[in-house]
Chain A
Amino acid sequence: MGRLFRLVALAGLMALLAAGRGWAGDAYGQERRYMVRLIEADVRDTRRYIGKEALDPRVMAALGRVPRHEFVPPSLRTAAYENRPLPIGHGQTISQPYIVALMTDLLGLKPGDRVLEIGTGSGYQAAILAELVDQVFTIEIIGPLGREAGERLRRLGYPKIETRIGDGYYGWEEAAPFDAIVVTAAAGHIPPPLIAQLRPGGRMVIPVGSRFMTQQLLLVEKDARGELTSRQILPVRFVPLTGAH
């Protein structure tokens, strides 16, 4: 009798736990949807400055799918879907979702594209990219961080992402050229080899600022003839000069 009771109790407990996890999953899902709505509202506000009414719906859908809470330290999971950067250890951060969305949108990705990322960090940006294109290559210079991210991406099922640990300065020669490159950990300048590995017609995005605050986004475009132009984008609705000028 005692044994049966224990069995029943155990089964009940397990059911409860499963339900709990289910609720938690739902809760994260809800939070994620809320986060996406928040970003959409921000973009509408910023439309005059980023030059568009809304971001690519595919980008927004990707943000709605990737479980961001899996990419932050367990102690910060409750804050995973707040629109703010979070520390992920090793002196690194996971960017504010709004900035991730803007950067991804600026790349103008198509499904068949091949994308290179310098600075894997938690792997969140790579996961977003993998929701949109067929092949993502990502390099992380900090060993433990890169291994954690690689393991996490495998666990979450992102076979399209290839990870590597090493110096991003020379890009990923074997996989070049790329349709898009994201450089989240820039040296003092944009490495010339990366520019060389960008396909004509390709785009490169670089966030400029500190670990926690993105001051501006740099977009480098290589046209069909291989000519380079760049644009600096303030990720915020702000007019620098007064109306009179």
Chain B
Amino acid sequence: MNRFPRFSIALVSAVALGYEILLIRLFSIIQWHHFAYMIISLALLGYGASGAFLCVLRERLLARFQAAYIASLLLFGLSAVACFLIAQQVPFNPEEMLWDPAQPLRLLAVYLLLSLPFFFAANAIGLALSRFRRRVAGIYAADLFGAGLGSVAIVGLLFVVFPGRALQLLGILGTGAAALACWELRVRRAWGLLVLGAMLPLLLLPADWRGLAISPYKGLSQMLRIDGARIVEQRSSPLGLLSVVESPRVPLRHAPGLSLKATAEPPPQVGVFTDGDGMTVLTRDSGRRERFGYLDQLTSALPYHLGGPKRVLVLGAGGGAEVLQALYHGAEQVDAVELNPQMVDLVKGRYREFTGDLYGRPGVKVHVAEARGFVAATKQRYDLVQLALVDAFGASSAGLHALNESYLYTVEALQEYLRHLAPDGYLAISRWVKLPPRDSLKLFGMAVQALRNLGVEDPGRRLALIRGWQTSTLVIKNGEFSAGELTDLRRFCRERAFDSAYYPGMAGEEANRYNRLRQPYFFTAARALLGESGDEYRRRYKFNIEPATDDRPYFFHFFKWELLPEIWALRGRGGFPLLEWGYLILVATLAQAVLVSLVLILLPLTLLRSRAGNGSFSRRRVFIYFGAIGLAFLFLEIAFIQKFILFLSHPLYAVAVVLSSFLIFAGLGSAWSGRLAAARGDRVVLGLAVGAIALFGGLFLLLLPVVIPMLASLPDPVKVPVAVLSIGPLAFFMGMPFPTALARLGDESPGLIPWAWGVNGCASVISSVLATLLAIHLGFSLVVLAALALYGVAFAVFPGRRGGA
């Protein structure tokens, strides 16, 4: 029996990767996405745990390889569904973590539950690697190939079915891998029947079990408590689960930032929630223009009072509030850019009449595209580019977006928007006001930087910032503000009780009039950021307001370590809301992952002491080698995904294209490396691989900043193959180091194989978290350099000759 079960390996890898991506979707819906990442990265330590498990029980399991392998696959499929269903019943509420000792225990329960499926999947592959140790290159290739296909397939699947159904399908496919293995391994027919019988509960899963238990504290759950409010439609895609809520008895009235002096209220609205939160609204148009008067009472209406813009670009149009606002103010041409086609479809379809055919009106054009990509590709120039409030206040104020890369808010993005303004046009960006100020100040500083980069000598003459109690709006003009415009600005603010925070020539006593803060923080900060000592001011500011760039696209990251002791001391006295959770959770995740990894790696090591191999690959070398390539592989993968988000101008395509290209080309590389090693020796293969990785990685760093802007205007169907081809060669060689070294281990100390597999698994988990942390602080270019260095380390510790040290 020398044929290894390549198809079931590929299938289980495909399903495991799909399951990982699906879990992120599922947890983003029932909880908040940052906890999704935390839970899943920890769950992946099931891979590490499997390494430890196999180390201990290797001999016994190998003696019954067929049964152990098939059982692992079967348990994977069953637990993938069962563990999630149980985990979502655990009443975990992150906001109570600080007070309630039961919450961390619940989080632990969720971890343990979700690590089970990954544990079983890893057992299957680890067992196969141990059993067919002469065929590691082939097994690894099947594993990578499967994962590559899985990453594309799950994105496709999520377009077609709801996440709950997708979970059921993955469970069936997982157990299907067991059935496939029965056939591949030619086991007795009775076993096959047993496996098919075990699939039954998954096939017959009751429909209401597939329902998701959304946290009662998310916006959607809150809304549904209102008498008469109900979900009238749900649509699902990898971009999110849209829930449309109508509330006939207590109408929705969403108008964030409305002036205190406003007397008009919004007309009836329909709420659209994405993943149970972040509501955007569709507003009813009864044909009476005066019903939209409230749109003139928002800070974002300012640019319409300065120059009367006729050609308007709305980025992040959602349900169309900003489009309505533009029409209300007499815009003649409105280009609305929205990423999610299902959102556009709601406005154009079911709610076409309700919204007065908003997206079909003369002059209005909707573009389903990512904002940055749209702007890069268009040749149009606009009188006003309006960047709407695209994130929800709740998540924003708790710093939950801290880890979200956002290419909408970077210095380069601002420059790109500014380049698309007509002479004397405006770029207007509205943000939630937080106390102490964060977003608005970071953005102001970035605007100063962007204008300077474009060669403007005195940026202060082109900037204006106003604020209400809830929102602030920054206006950047393509030209200097005239005296008339400033008079209009002052009148606009006075009539609505908004405060001016900055405009050219503004006097100090004009600040902080209507919505009084203890000090005129915004005015002081704006002045400082424009002055000579802007950098010094940023450095001393308690929150991180350093400009976000394309290499460090973390606009929402405001956390500074210096702040932690002070906030901690104030925890019972209203201090906790000041913490930016996203970043701390990332650090906590890393700490936990490192800790658990160490236990999982050290545990088998102590047990293995007695029967360690006497080959050239010492345990220490195995640890360094497999740790280094585990870290490096994901560093590169993550950095590439980020870089290609900008190029492919769509986060989803980027993930699917980059991930699958990486895995599939690496799979090819792995398959080829086995043959090459047989002919030329493994050290030659490794040297070739590491040399090529350094070459292609270096080229990537040098060429990408030049090439991406050149190719930005290519049509999407051309961009995808360009991306695949630029990733291919690098990924091909990245597939070689793992099987090459594993084959050597197989020859010399097969007992260390499961351990190497475990070390590699743990390193990959740590890597994904570490890459984000490094990118936040040092940028993605550095992540790439670090990866190249790690491959160098791996090469250095690879033993020279067989039998030698």
Which residue of B221, B521, B528, B540 contacts A91 across the interface (Cβ within 8 Å)? B221
In the bound assembly, the distance between CA atoms of A90 and B515 in angstroms comes to 34
Task: Indicate whether A229 sits within 8 Å of B216 (C-beta atoms), given known contacts A192-B265, A195-B260.
Answer: no
Taking CB as reference atom, which chain B residue is nearest A186?
A: B470
Query: B575: CB under 8 A from chain A?
Result: yes
Taking CB as reference atom, which chain A residue is nearest B264?
A: A192
A-side contacts of B222, CB under 8 Å: 91
Query: A173: CB under 8 A from chain B?
Result: no
B-side contacts of A187, CB under 8 Å: 253-254
Task: Write out, one digit per residue, whether chain B residues 245-261 have a CB within 8 A of any chain A CB (1) or not (0).
Answer: 00001100111111011
Query: A25: CB under 8 A from chain B?
Result: no
Query: A3: CB under 8 A from chain B?
Result: no
Q: Is the CB of B96 within 8 A of A220?
A: no
Segment among B326-334, B432-440, B766-774, B779-787 that sits at the interface with chain A = B432-440
Q: Is the CB of A98 within 8 A of B515?
A: no
Query: A230: CB under 8 A from chain B?
Result: yes
Shortest CB distance A88–B (Å): 11
- Please report which residues of chain A, range 37-71, place their CB below 8 angstroms from some CB of chain B when the two chains form the complex: 38, 42, 45-46, 49
Shortest CB distance A93–B (Å): 8
Segment among A12-20, A156-164, A211-219 that sits at the interface with chain B = A211-219
Q: Is the CB of A213 within 8 A of B576?
A: yes
In the bound assembly, the distance between CA atoms of A109 and B521 in angstroms comes to 30
A-side contacts of B540, CB under 8 Å: 241-242, 244-245
Query: B628: CB under 8 A from chain A?
Result: no
B-side contacts of A96, CB under 8 Å: 574
Q: Is the CB of A236 within 8 A of B469?
A: no
Q: Is the CB of A211 within 8 A of B497?
A: no
A-side contacts of B225, CB under 8 Å: 90-91, 141-142
Taking CB as reference atom, which chain A residue is nearest B95?
A: A212
Shortest CB distance B433–A (Å): 8
In the bound assembly, the distance between CA atoms of A167 and B567 in angstroms comes to 37
Segment among A79-87, A120-128, A129-137, A175-183 that sits at the interface with chain B = A79-87
Q: Is the CB of A188 within 8 A of B253?
A: yes
Q: Is the CB of A190 within 8 A of B253?
A: no
- Please report which residues of chain A, range 101-126, place their CB below 8 angstroms from some CB of chain B when the two chains form the complex: none
Select the residue from B221, B436, B524 with max chain A CB neighbours within 10 A.
B436
Q: Is the CB of B435 within 8 A of A240?
A: yes
A-side contacts of B95, CB under 8 Å: 210-213
Select the residue from B226, B253, B260 with max chain A CB neighbours within 10 A.
B260
Query: B481: CB under 8 A from chain A?
Result: no
Query: A237: CB under 8 A from chain B?
Result: yes
Task: Write out, one digit per residue, whether chain B residues 632-674 have a CB within 8 A of any chain A CB (1) or not (0).
Answer: 0000000000000000000000000000000000000000000
Query: A155: CB under 8 A from chain B?
Result: no
B-side contacts of A42, CB under 8 Å: 572-573
- Please report which residues of chain B, range 447-497, place their CB below 8 angstroms from some CB of chain A when the two chains form the complex: 469-470, 497
In the bound assembly, the distance between CA atoms of A218 and B497 in angstroms comes to 15
Query: B566: CB under 8 A from chain A?
Result: yes
Q: Is the CB of B93 within 8 A of A230?
A: no
Q: Is the CB of B253 within 8 A of A245?
A: no
- Please report which residues of chain A, range 186-245, place their CB below 8 angstroms from some CB of chain B when the two chains form the complex: 187-193, 195-196, 209-216, 218, 220, 228-232, 234-242, 244-245
Query: B537: CB under 8 A from chain A?
Result: yes
Query: A28: CB under 8 A from chain B?
Result: no
B: number of interface residues (CB 8 Å):
62
The total of interchain contacts (Cβ-Cβ below 8 angstroms) comes to 158
Which residue of A98, A212, A230 contacts B217 across the interface (Cβ within 8 Å)? A212
Q: Is the CB of B264 within 8 A of A83?
A: no
Q: Is the CB of B517 within 8 A of A232?
A: yes
Query: B577: CB under 8 A from chain A?
Result: yes
Shortest CB distance A227–B (Å): 9
B-side contacts of A46, CB under 8 Å: 573
Q: Is the CB of A241 within 8 A of B574?
A: no
Taking CB as reference atom, which chain A residue is nearest B572?
A: A83
Task: Indicate whether A210 sits within 8 Å of B217 (C-beta atoms), given known contacts A216-B435, A230-B516, A238-B436.
Answer: yes
Q: Is the CB of A213 within 8 A of B398?
A: yes
- Please report which residues of chain B, range 513-563, place their CB below 8 angstroms from some CB of chain A when the two chains form the complex: 514-519, 521, 524-525, 528, 537, 540-543
Shortest CB distance B577–A (Å): 4
In the bound assembly, the distance between CA atoms of A241 and B537 in angstroms comes to 9
Query: B31: CB under 8 A from chain A?
Result: no
Task: Indicate whether A215 sits within 8 Å of B572 (C-beta atoms), given known contacts A229-B514, A240-B521.
Answer: no
B-side contacts of A212, CB under 8 Å: 95-96, 217
Q: Is the CB of B217 within 8 A of A215?
A: no
Query: A99: CB under 8 A from chain B?
Result: yes
Q: Is the CB of B572 within 8 A of A98?
A: yes
- Please report which residues of chain B, range 214-271, place their CB below 8 angstroms from some CB of chain A when the two chains form the complex: 216-217, 221-222, 225-227, 249-250, 253-258, 260-265
Task: Indicate whether A192 sits within 8 Å of B515 (C-beta atoms), given known contacts A242-B542, A245-B537.
Answer: no
Q: Is the CB of B260 within 8 A of A230?
A: yes
In the bound assembly, the distance between CA atoms of A142 and B567 in angstroms comes to 34
Q: What are 13 A-B interface contacts by the 8 Å CB criterion?
A: A91-B216, A142-B225, A189-B256, A191-B265, A209-B397, A210-B397, A210-B398, A211-B95, A216-B435, A230-B497, A232-B469, A232-B515, A239-B542
List 8 other contacts, CB 8 Å, given A84-B99, A231-B515, A232-B433: A38-B572, A91-B216, A188-B254, A190-B258, A190-B260, A228-B261, A238-B566, A241-B521
Report which A residues bind B (CB closer than 8 A). 38, 42, 45-46, 49, 79, 82-84, 87, 90-91, 96, 98-99, 141-143, 166-167, 169, 187-193, 195-196, 209-216, 218, 220, 228-232, 234-242, 244-245
Q: Which 6 A-B pairs have the closest CB atoms?
A: A240-B436, A91-B216, A189-B258, A235-B574, A212-B95, A236-B574
